[in-house]
Structure 1
Amino acid sequence: MMEPRNRVVRLRRFGGPEELEVADAPLPTAGRGEVRVRVLASSLNYTDVLIRRHLYPQTARRQPPFVLGYDVVGCIDQLGDGVKDFQLGDRVADMTVLGSNAVYRTLRAARLTRVPAGLDAARAATLILSWMTAYQLLHRAARVQRGQRVLVHGAAGAVGQALLALGRLAGLELWGAARSEHMALIRELGATPIDYQHEDFTRVLPGGFDIVFDGIGEDGYRRSFAALKHGGLLCAIGYSAGVQAQRGMSGILMWIARLYLWGWLPGGKRARFYSINLMRALHPAWFREDLERLFELSATGAIRPRVAERISFDEVAEAHRRLEAGGLVGKLVLCPDLPLRRDGAARAEV
């Protein structure tokens, strides 16, 4: 019987999408306490762009070449010694940060979450980073209460859409800031749209918002802080404005440090920077519990994560260009089982 072939998406050096290559790689072997999975889906995230451009603090010390891939849904095809809670053929999920844009990879069994039977692998993959970030922001970081007034920046993005969908389930009164072409989408998600290019969000709600979720960081988060009511909370989740302004790693770290200091300022307002990796390190049980909850919500149709397109290995570099250009309504998901696309036909969906 022929040995399975492994292929990976490797970053040769920090830079643009042209630095990505699809390469053959050795087939990994599960060690003690590990499983090997055949990858079914691995979503492409804007965070992958930051890693590729050397702008992501959590991977700042890693030097290329290395394999990209922040999350994974896979089918177990090999068990390492000491693994008792899983069987061959089980479908599992994990947040890996690196290494999952591959056909095969190994994973630590203790970190895995089961994927329910019948839940589409690509849709499950969309939940691991973006929807988990949104869920933990709402219920772990901000601890939202029904009826609170909440502003979401970047509301048409992956995390923004998840915040609106999950916020509506939590009974929040929601506003979503986005480009004018996304106003209908924001309404569809149950929020009051704000065209951030033409409206001043600091004046939308007299008295201010209870909570602002900001993944943009425009003007160093100052305007978001100003939009809060007395006692309000700013939850920062990113810094895409700094990335677009071509700030380097030192500038990004300065933004994060400033936000931590703001948490000590007088005036009754608070600020907090959320990191999904730090949250998982501090509370590992929460990650599995929250991901299981998201899988359940998706399986029952309570939430509907959007897959913009399923892509094959030959489309990854172009997918990174699309991520950087912005405007995607759903997730691009790498599905290694897809054949190379030679006819130019799209695989778009909703």
Structure 2
Amino acid sequence: MMEPRNRVVRVRRFGGPEELEVVDAPLPTAGRGEVRVRVLASSLNYTDVLIRRHLYPQTARRRPPFVLGYDVIGEIDQLGDGVTDFQLGDRVADMTVLGSNAAYCTLQADRLARVPAGLDAAEAATLILSWTTAYQLLHRAARVQRGQRVFVHGAAGAVGQALLALGRLAGLELWGAARGEHAALIRELGASPIDYQREDFTRVLPDGFDVVVDGIGEDGYRRSFAALRRGGLLCAIGYSAGVQAQRSMLSILMWIARLYLWRWLPGSKRASFYSINVMRARHPAWFREDLERLFELLDTGAIRPRVAERISFDEVAEAHRRLEAGGLAGKLVLCPDLPLRRDGTALH
């Protein structure tokens, strides 16, 4: 029997999408406590753009070449020594941060979440980073209560859509900032749309929001903090404005540090930076619980994440350009098994 072929998406040097390359790689072998999976789906996230451009603190010490891939849905095809909780053929999920934009990869067995067999792999992959982030923001970080008023920046993005969908399930009153053309989507998700190019979100509620979730960081989060009511919470989750403005990692880290200084300002407003990786390191059981809860919601049809497009290896660089341009109303998902047409384009 012919040995399977492994292909990976590799960053050859820090920079733009042109620095990505798809190359053949050795087939990995599961070590002790590991499993090897055949990758069924691996999302492309804006975080991958930060990693590629050397603007992501967690991977700042890594030097190219290395393989991208923040999350993975895979089917186990090899068990390492000491692995007893899984069997060949089981479908599993993990948040890898690096290494899963590949045809095959190895994973630590004690970090895996189980994936119900009937789920669409691409839809399931969208839940690992974006939807788990949204779930933990609402229920672990902000600890929202029914009826609270929540404002979401970037509401048409993957995390934004998840926040609105899960917020509606939690009984929240929601507003979402997005481009004008996404207003219908925001309404469909149960929120009041705010066109950030034409409207001032700080004037929407004179007495302020209970929670503002900001992954943009425009003006260093100052306006988001100003839009809070007394006792409100700003949850910062990203800094895409700083990335687009070509800010250095040092200046972005200073933005984040300032959030914690704002806690000492009079008025009892609060601010913090949420990191799914920090949360997982502190509470590893929460990550598995929350992700498997999301898989249940997907399995029952209570949530339906949007997959903007399923892409092949050959489309990854262009997908990164689309991520940087913004405006996607769903997630781009790499599906290694996706066949190619004769002209080299993927069959979706």
Secondary structure at the residue paired with 2:264? Answer: coil
Distance in 2 (CA, whole Å) between partners of 1:237 and 1:342 is 42
Q: Note the residue ranges of structure 1 that are not aligned, 5 or more in a row.
A: none
- What is the 5 A alignment of 1:1-350? 1-343=1-343
Deviation of 1:263 (Å): 2.4
Worse-matched range after superposition: 312-321 or 252-261: 252-261
User: Residues 14, 342 of structure 1: CA spacing in aligned structure 2 closer, same or farther, 3 A cutoff?
Assistant: farther
Distance in 1 (CA, whole Å) between partners of 2:138 and 2:234 is 12
| 1:117-154 alpha-carbon deviations (Å, 9 max, x no partner) | 10011110000000011000000000000000010011
Distance in 1 (CA, whole Å) between partners of 2:285 and 2:264 is 29
Report percent identity of matched pairs: 89
Worse-matched range after superposition: 162-171 or 259-268: 259-268
Matched AA of 2:311: I
Is the CA contact (8 Å cut-off) linking 1:314 and 1:341 kept in structure 2?
no
Secondary structure at the residue paired with 1:154? Answer: coil
Distance in 2 (CA, whole Å) between partners of 1:323 and 1:114 is 29
Is the CA contact (8 Å cut-off) linking 2:234 and 2:270 kept in structure 1?
yes
Deviation of 1:344 (Å): 7.2
Secondary structure at the residue paired with 1:308? Answer: strand
User: Residues 71, 341 of structure 1: CA spacing in aligned structure 2 closer, same or farther, 3 A cutoff?
Assistant: farther
Deviation of 1:200 (Å): 1.0
Secondary structure at the residue paired with 1:263? Answer: helix
| 1:52-109 alpha-carbon deviations (Å, 9 max, x no partner) | 0011111111100000000000000000010000000000000000000001110000
Distance in 1 (CA, whole Å) between partners of 2:124 and 2:97 is 16
Secondary structure at the residue paired with 1:216? Answer: coil
Matched AA of 2:306: R
Deviation of 1:266 (Å): 2.2
Is the CA contact (8 Å cut-off) linking 2:341 and 2:347 kept in structure 1?
no
Is the CA contact (8 Å cut-off) linking 1:43 and 1:125 kept in structure 2?
yes
Is the CA contact (8 Å cut-off) linking 1:312 and 1:341 kept in structure 2?
no
Deviation of 1:252 (Å): 1.2
Distance in 1 (CA, whole Å) between partners of 2:342 and 2:98 is 28
Distance in 2 (CA, whole Å) between partners of 1:160 and 1:282 is 24
Deviation of 1:289 (Å): 0.1
User: Structure 1 length normalisation: TM-score?
Assistant: 0.98
Distance in 2 (CA, whole Å) between partners of 1:306 and 1:325 is 18
Secondary structure at the residue paired with 2:267? Answer: coil
| 1:24-66 alpha-carbon deviations (Å, 9 max, x no partner) | 1111110110000010000100110110001111111110000
Is the CA contact (8 Å cut-off) linking 1:314 and 1:340 kept in structure 2?
no
Is the CA contact (8 Å cut-off) linking 2:312 and 2:346 kept in structure 1?
no
Distance in 1 (CA, whole Å) between partners of 2:263 and 2:74 is 40
Aligned length: 348
Deviation of 1:20 (Å): 0.6
Runs of at least 4 residues of structure 1 off by over 6 A? none
Matched AA of 2:312: S
Deviation of 1:242 (Å): 0.5
Secondary structure at the residue paired with 1:337? Answer: coil
Distance in 1 (CA, whole Å) between partners of 2:341 and 2:196 is 37
Q: Note the residue ranges of structure 2 that are not aligned, 5 or more in a row.
A: none
Secondary structure at the residue paired with 2:32? Answer: coil
Distance in 1 (CA, whole Å) between partners of 2:35 and 2:259 is 39
| 1:295-340 alpha-carbon deviations (Å, 9 max, x no partner) | 0001111000011111111111111111111111111110111123
Distance in 1 (CA, whole Å) between partners of 2:96 and 2:205 is 39
Distance in 2 (CA, whole Å) between partners of 1:307 and 1:225 is 32
Distance in 1 (CA, whole Å) between partners of 2:27 and 2:295 is 29
Is the CA contact (8 Å cut-off) linking 2:55 and 2:249 kept in structure 1?
yes
Distance in 2 (CA, whole Å) between partners of 1:231 and 1:266 is 11
Worse-matched range after superposition: 262-271 or 77-86: 262-271
Distance in 2 (CA, whole Å) between partners of 1:167 and 1:347 is 35
Distance in 2 (CA, whole Å) between partners of 1:235 and 1:211 is 7
